[in-house]
Structure 1
Amino acid sequence: MTENNELRIAVIGSGPAGVYSSDILLKQLAKRSEELGLPATARIDLFEKLPVPFGLVRYGVAPDHPSIKFIAGALEKTLDNPNIHLYCDVEFGKDVTLDELLARYDAVLFATGAVKDKPLGLPGSDLEGVYGAAKFVEWYDGYPTGAREWPLDAENVAVIGGGNVAMDVARELMRNADDLKAKTDIPDNVYEGIQKNKAKVLHLFIRRGVAQAKFSVQELREMEKLPGVQLIINEDDFDLDEETIEVAGKDKLARQMVEELFTIREMAEDMEDDGDVDFEGNPADRKYYIHFNSAPTEVLGEDGKVTGIRVEVTETGADGKMHRTGEFVDYPVEAVYHAIGYKPAEAPGIAYDEKGAHLANANGDGRITTEADGGEVRPRLYATGWAKRGPVGLIGSTKSDALMIVNHMLEDFAAAPEHGLFAEDRNPESIDELLAGKGIRPIDFAGWKRIDKFERAEGAKEGREHKKVIEPEQMRKLAAGE
């Protein structure tokens, strides 16, 4: 089989979903090509709109997650494969169109992430001092087009949300700047911003009960080890009935989470008994309140600025259904952060399912359709990760997604008379010629390695493993060896 007859796949997005899919596709092809009557090799080109790869791992997760550098290392090993080609700084729909890709590739796989928040939708959500988690995450993760400064002058802060992003946001708002700098790759502007953070009291509001929270155990353990922070809980939240405990116990992850939350309850009691101290027994200068069964109903304000938040007490049954009680409590806060979900990016020319917040695909099987509700399957177009299923699941969830979609893709290829070789232009240099003709200079894997080398060198000067570059133009110059 000559190079011109290998399968050619374009992947939009170089985060975990795109990279895992590329790796699995090559492995499945090697394993199943003979059985399916397909070429044994493939060229996979990943198109990334940012100047650097890794998407969510680099820009969507808090910098103090210790496991993230291991995930990034695994993704990098996959990209260092001669059959996988990286095209960073190339935006789908702007720099390259769907028609241009379909002329050159046998299939296009969308593995785009999420950069927008779901709207809060409460009275007062337009007040100054109300922030979506996505923009705050962009700031502290050094997103290339994100904010360079962040207002951290509120002494009393509320965070709304019962998932891992809410936990990340709350943790960073309670973080000690020097501790964060020593352990992470945050850039200087983030370090300086957190140094000036005035937050002394934080309230985390979770609508449902202890047994229905969506936190990972890792997130909870990171909450437990915040220097200078006292954790405060409401003991009534932990008064679970037998049915609730039984239901939670049937799911391994839920059981582990509840057990860890009970550990936090004991920690909070010890912190109070020992004189309002942190996890190491040192005097705490910040207080972190964790409120379960608390549904925010309104952001309160004066003169266009946040002054408080109104919360309705709720009750949650063993079935996970929340019931409102009509009992309200007001909390004085000057800033409100909401982490109630992301909205995955749309793709030009692809139908979008607004209700599910993902690209339209047939019964969740990853095959792109003409309409959100049903419609016909569009040949040679697929979606994986959040682009397929919406903003749910952890990074690891993308692997099972990728395996399913890759197998659907290969089976579709095998069923076609062309045996997967659909693209008319099979010149492997065609995409490079197209981009060059438009004056676009993609950043390839070698360019990324130059950026990474510089970031490591800058970190080493401060005794750190890594220090992020955040300006796109500097990234381009580093990638080009300038």
Structure 2
Amino acid sequence: MSENSELRIAVIGAGPAGVYSSDIFLRELRKRGEELGLGTTARIDVFEKLPVPFGLVRYGVAPDHPSIKFIADALEKTLDNPDIHLYCDVEFGKDITLDDLLPRYDAVLFATGAVEDRPLHIPGADLTGVHGAARFVEWYDGYPDGPRDWPLDAKQVAVIGGGNVAMDVARELMRDADDLRTRTDIPDNVYEGLRRNQARELHLFVRRGVTQAKFSVQELREMEQLPGVRIAVDDEDFDLDEETIKAAGGNKLVRQMVEELFAIREMAQDMEDDGNVDYAGNPADRVYHLHFNALPVEITGTDGAVSSLRVERTRTGADGVMERTGEFVEYPVQAVYHAIGYKPAAAEGIAYDEHRTVLANDEGRILAASDSAQIVPRLYATGWAKRGPVGLIGSTKSDALLIVGHMLDDLAAEAGAGALAGDRDAGSIDRLLAERGVRPIDFAGWKRVDRFEREQGSREGRKHKKVTELERLRAIAHAE
């Protein structure tokens, strides 16, 4: 197949969903392309609005996750492919539009992530000191457009949420700054902020029971090993009936999580009995309370700022159905963080399903409207843009395989071996961007950033030190 007849695919988003989909598309095309009449070669152009790739892995996961490096390394190996072309610092809807892409690409795949918190709908949610997880994560991950300072003067803090993001937020709020700096790539402003952190007591509230939490075992184990932190639990939360235990045992991941939580209960008791110590037996100056069956219902304030959180006790059956009891407890706190879900970003020109908070789609095929069954040809969604902000890397890969299958089948059903774009000049998109004054950062530019960050880290005895400023990232990436 000639260069002008090979398939042309545009991917919006260089996070895990976009990168995995690109890799799977090329592999599946090599496997099935001949029998489908599509040939076996394609050029995939991946557009990313940030100056650097990897999305959620770089800017949405807590810096102390040991798995980050391995995932980022795998994504980088995929991008280091002559059939995949990286265009960072190119924003869809601003620098390029759907009208620009459709004449140049046979299909467009949206792999955009989530940038906004789902709102907290309880009284007092607008008080000073109430924070959504997304902005806090942007701060401690050094997101280029994120805040550079964060208020950490609250001595008593609440975190609302029963998933891994809530655990990340709580763990970073209880973190020892020096320990985190040694082990991770946090920038200087985050280190200095955490050094000044006043939090000494943290409460994590999960509205349902122990077996309904969505924590991974890895998250729990990271919580267990916080230097200087004692864990505290309520024994009543662990009083499970036989039906609930049986239901939890039917799912391997849930069973492992529950077993770990019971181990944490024993650890918490030992920490208290040994005189308020941390996991290593050293004196603890902070305490981390883990509450289940606890539904936050109101945030109260003084002079416009958070002063307490009112929580209602709940009961949760083996089927996951939650009942309210009418029993309330008020906790004095000066800051409340909510991690109750993200809202995936919209994309200009693409219908958005507000109910499901996804790009309107049917198994990854973009729909004309959220209430329509009409499929828009050549447009697809994967990852959180398709399914919403749930699932880990395994779900992302499963999505990619499903959507790639649809793309290949749809392209094969078209005349001309799937070559639907009229402009098949590989340099066409580069000329368009140049005319608009847009200067993309390619894979070589990313490697310059990566080398610089490693060099900066090595000077301080660290493996890596993240650059956060937009213009500095651009300058490093474009330096010859």
Q: Which TM-score bucket, shorter chain as reference? A: over 0.9
Alignment pair present for 1:101 and 2:101: yes
Alignment pair present for 1:200 and 2:195: no
Shift of 1:35: 1.2
**Amino acid of the residue matched to residue 350 of structure 1?**
I
Is the 1:10–1:44 Cα contact (8 Å) retained in structure 2?
yes
Matches of 2:182 and 2:59, distance apart in 1: 19
- The residue number in structure 1 matching 2:249 is 249
Deviations for 1:62-110, whole angstroms, at most 9, x for unmatched residues? 0000001100000000000000000000000100010110010000000
Shift of 1:418: 2.6
Matches of 1:118 and 1:68, distance apart in 2: 25
**Unaligned 5+ residue runs, structure 2?**
none
**Unaligned 5+ residue runs, structure 1?**
none
- The residue number in structure 1 matching 2:234 is 234
Alignment pair present for 1:380 and 2:378: yes
Deviations for 1:283-312, whole angstroms, at most 9, x for unmatched residues? 100000000000000011011000000000
**Amino acid of the residue matched to residue 384 of structure 1?**
T
Alignment pair present for 1:475 and 2:473: yes
Shift of 1:481: 1.0
Relative to the length of structure 1, the TM-score reads 0.99
Shift of 1:416: 1.1
**Amino acid of the residue matched to residue 133 of structure 1?**
A
Relative to the length of structure 2, the TM-score reads 1.00
- The residue number in structure 2 matching 1:390 is 388
Alignment: residue pair count: 480
Shift of 1:40: 1.0
Is the 1:5–1:39 Cα contact (8 Å) retained in structure 2?
no
- The residue number in structure 2 matching 1:435 is 433
1:315-326 equivalences in 2 (<5 Å):
315-326=315-326
Shift of 1:39: 2.1
**Amino acid of the residue matched to residue 36 of structure 2?**
L
Q: Secondary structure at the match of 1:103?
A: coil
Deviations for 1:341-380, whole angstroms, at most 9, x for unmatched residues? 0000000000001111100002xx1000011123310000
Is the 1:13–1:113 Cα contact (8 Å) retained in structure 2?
yes
- The residue number in structure 2 matching 1:116 is 116
1:412 corresponds to which of 368, 387, 410: 410
- The residue number in structure 1 matching 2:277 is 277
> Over aligned residue pairs, what C-alpha RMSD do you find?
0.6
Shift of 1:394: 1.0
- The residue number in structure 1 matching 2:225 is 225
Deviations for 1:108-167, whole angstroms, at most 9, x for unmatched residues? 000000010000011000000000000000000000000000000000000000000000
Matches of 1:440 and 1:348, distance apart in 2: 19
- The residue number in structure 1 matching 2:451 is 453
Matches of 1:117 and 1:330, distance apart in 2: 25
Matches of 1:370 and 1:33, distance apart in 2: 28
**Amino acid of the residue matched to residue 295 of structure 2?**
A
Matches of 2:257 and 2:88, distance apart in 1: 38
Alignment pair present for 1:268 and 2:268: yes
Matches of 1:244 and 1:412, distance apart in 2: 45
Q: Secondary structure at the match of 1:4?
A: coil
**Amino acid of the residue matched to residue 70 of structure 1?**
F
Deviations for 1:180-208, whole angstroms, at most 9, x for unmatched residues? 00000000000000000000000000000
Deviations for 1:29-48, whole angstroms, at most 9, x for unmatched residues? 00001111112100000000
Q: Secondary structure at the match of 2:315?
A: strand
